[in-house]
Structure 1
Amino acid sequence: MRLIRFLIAIACLAAGVIVGALNRGLIHIDLGVVILSTNLGVALIVSLLLGVLLGGLAIAASVVLPLRRRLARAERQPTKVPPATPPET
């Protein structure tokens, strides 16, 4: 399992280096208050990373946290065990 993780990490690192190397053009990003000057490869990688992080936070806030709350509430309530019935013969 460690080998697979290592290989995936190396592949992602290589893909990032390739994207950065193939997109060397200088761009200017106007944020209204400040203008950032960077190359296109860095801008692509940073925007992809921000999208993944914000998407993960949105999923955590909308799905994971409510499920954890529901699980905690269910663990606090006593479980109702149905009465034992004799087996039918």
Structure 2
Amino acid sequence: MKVVRLLILLAVLVVGLIIGALNSAPIVISLGFTQINSTTGLAIIVALLSGAIIGGGLVLASMVIPLYAKLRRAQKANPTVVVAPAASPSSPFDGR
């Protein structure tokens, strides 16, 4: 599993480098009160990253947090019995 994650990370890194290399024209991003000098590749990557973060935050706020709250309410309404762990067999080593 770690190898798959590493391969995905490397693939994303290579795609980002390719996007940055192919889109190296300088641009000026005007925000009204300030201007940002950048390249088109960097602007594309920042836009994609910010979109993924904002989308993930929206999913977290609209789906995950309410589902966790619903799960907590369901667990409070129907508590499960907690079983104590079984006593472990004594070892021949007595600690001396």
Q: TM range, normalised to the smaller chain? A: 0.7 to 0.9
Aligned to 2:68: 68
Q: Deviations over 1:7-29 (max 9, x none)?
A: 11000000000000000000011
SS at match of 2:32: coil
Name which of structure 1's ranges 5-14 and 70-79 shifts more when overlaid on structure 2. 70-79
Does the residue aligned with 1:36 lie in a helix, a strand or coil? strand
The aligned counterpart of 1:16 is 16
- Alpha-carbon distance between aligned partners in 2 of 1:9 and 1:66, rounded to the nearest angstrom: 31
Q: Distance in 2 between matches of 1:24 and 1:31?
A: 21
Question: Aligned partner of 2:68: which letter?
Answer: R
Aligned with 2:48: secondary structure? helix
Normalised TM-score (structure 2): 0.80
1:41 equivalent in structure 2: 41
Instruction: Name the SS of the counterpart of 1:38 in structure 2.
Output: strand
Aligned sequence identity (%): 42
Q: How many residues align?
A: 79
Q: Residues 23-59 of structure 1: CA distance to partner in whole angstroms, max 9, x if unpaired?
A: 0000011111111010000000000000000000000
Q: Gaps (5+ residues) in structure 1?
A: 80-89
RMSD of equivalent CA atoms: 0.9
Q: Which segments of 5 or more consecutive residues in structure 2 lack a partner in the other structure?
A: 80-96
The aligned counterpart of 1:29 is 29
Where do 4+ consecutive residues of structure 1 move more than 6 Å?
A: none
- Structure 1 counterpart SS, 2:36: strand
Give 1:78 deviation, angstroms. 3.1
SS at 2:12 equivalent:
helix
- Paired with 2:27 and 2:2, the residues of 1 have a C-alpha distance of 38
